[in-house]
Amino acid sequence: MLVAAWLAGNAGADDWPQWQGPLRNGISSETSLNWSWPTDGPKVLWKASLGKGFSSFAVAKGRVYTMGNRDNVDTVVCLDAETGKEIWKHSYPCDLYPKAYEGGPLATPAIDGNRVYTISKFGDCFCMDAQTGRVVWSKKFEPPTATKADYRVWWGFAGSIAVTNDRLILAVGTAGVAVDKLTGKMIWDNGPGYSGYSSPTLFNIGPQQCLACVSGHDVVAADVNSGQVLWRIPWKTTWDQNASDVIVHEGKLFVTSGHDVGCALFDVSSGKPVQIWRNKNMRTFLGNCILWKGCLYGFDDKQTNQICCLDWQTGEVRWTASDLSLGTLILADGKLIALQEDGTLLVAEARSDAYKPLVKARVLTGRCWTVPALSDGRLFLRNAAGDAICLSVRK
């Protein structure tokens, strides 16, 4: 609750300043949005070409920030959120590294005050002036050692930076690192290793601020202040593809992965995880689940993908919606906003009793794995090729 209050106090009411929005939970506080569209979708405010990648959007003070790659050069770009006009960009050499997908940057920028923070898939970390793009400081985090057997398959750093108090928390190594947000100076480092692809989730156990993320082989929690590892939960996935963030709520932690691994809920309130339930009702391959009014909503990775609603307390299925392509979710105005892999934008009621779709439209082509962002009635979407679109869902 303390973390949520701090984050809310540092973002405008309609801003989406980091990965998964103001509270890093995929939920927007915006209401009274327009869910009645023509067949070709909502009004298009602008389109832009960003370069290849899967970085989502951070939006604050009327500006939107994201990343892309062209010709083995990463670019962090700042655009006017209403018009799409480029304000500034910062570029640096970085391998596209397409490996069973298009390649390009994976993490989403984080905005804190007048600074924006980014990390590339190969560990190039930048702090830039949010107004001008001037580099304030930079740092390089080394990828895991490629010669070790456990690292033979690695897709790059994908966890988005979390900002809290005086520091940045990064999903680097097996249990994260923390650096001073003003200088980039290392505060603590839990050592090298395989970090997985999820982003850090911040939560509290009593007065103790903690982080949790899914590394290559386990769910790990650490003390934000000291970096001390508090506990680990073994969590093994084919290809070590743990991509979804954990959800922590009222002393309970939820984790899910695809490749038929499934999901589980643990009680972490005492400092030692105790399993409450575990099943295969939610196998989230990419993106995150949304916790809303006692229910979990997410894409379940089956032969035929589906959106699934689970009971938070029991893990039992409330409803499923089949015959959908893979996708990602956010929630606003009591609605699930889903971008499917094929570029179909789908909106449904966030109800616990039944699946109630409202509207859908094909708004992009190509592979769409990037989670949407919502700010001031503007919906920001992109595909892997870097085609970005901003749609108005204002009434």
Per-residue pLDDT tens over the stretch 25-71 = 999 999 999 999 999 999 999 999 999 999 999 999 999 999 999 99
- Inform me whether the pLDDT recorded for 12 exceeds 90: no
Taking the C-alpha atoms of 161, 164, 166 and 169 in order, what is their torsion angle to the nearest 10 degrees? -30
Is 292 in contact with 310 (CB distance < 8 Å)?
Answer: no
**Of 11-15, 76-80, 209-213, 265-269, the least confident:** 11-15
Please state the domain count of the chain: 1
Is 219 in contact with 210 (CB distance < 8 Å)?
Answer: no
The domain containing residue 113 runs over which residues? 2-392
Which CATH number does the domain housing residue 27 bear? Answer: 2.130.10.10
CA 282 to chain CA centroid, nearest Å:
18
Global pTM value? 0.94
Question: Which residues touch 295 (CB under 8 Å, ≥6 apart)?
Answer: 309, 310, 311, 312, 318, 350, 352
> Which residue, among 270, 198, 276, 278, has the nearest Cα to 230 in the 3D structure?
270
Stated as kind and residue range, the H or E segment containing 332 is strand 327-332
Please give the pLDDT value at position 242: 87
Please give the pLDDT value at position 15: 96
Please give the pLDDT value at position 2: 43
- Inform me whether the pLDDT recorded for 145 exceeds 80: no
Is 46 in contact with 84 (CB distance < 8 Å)?
Answer: yes
Please enumerate, as own/partner, the contacts of 315-321 that have beta carbons within 8 Å and a separation of 24 or more: 315/263, 315/264, 315/265, 315/277, 315/278, 315/279, 315/281, 316/281, 317/281, 318/352, 318/353, 319/353, 319/354, 319/355, 320/355, 321/348, 321/355, 321/357
Label residue 13 by pLDDT band (50, 70, 90). low
Mean pLDDT of 113-125: 97
Per residue in 265-281, pLDDT tens?
Answer: 999 998 789 999 999 99
Per residue in 218-253, pLDDT tens?
Answer: 999 999 999 999 999 999 887 778 889 999 999 999
Rounded CA separation 300/286 (Å): 10
CA atoms within 13 A on the CB side of 71: 1
Rounded CA separation 388/395 (Å): 22
Mean pLDDT of 140-166: 80
Rounded CA separation 329/27 (Å): 9
- Inform me whether the pLDDT recorded for 4 exceeds 50: no
Q: Is the dihedral of CA 59, 60, 62, 68 positive or negative?
A: negative
Joined together, the tokens standing for residue 68 give: 């892309």
Rounded CA separation 327/71 (Å): 27
Rounded CA separation 178/237 (Å): 26
Report which listed range, 2-11, 95-104, 160-169, is most confident.
Answer: 160-169
CA 358 to chain CA centroid, nearest Å:
25
> Which residue, among 216, 217, 194, has the nearest Cα to 146 in the 3D structure?
194
- Inform me whether the pLDDT recorded for 387 exceeds 70: yes
Rounded CA separation 263/279 (Å): 6
Rounded CA separation 174/159 (Å): 12
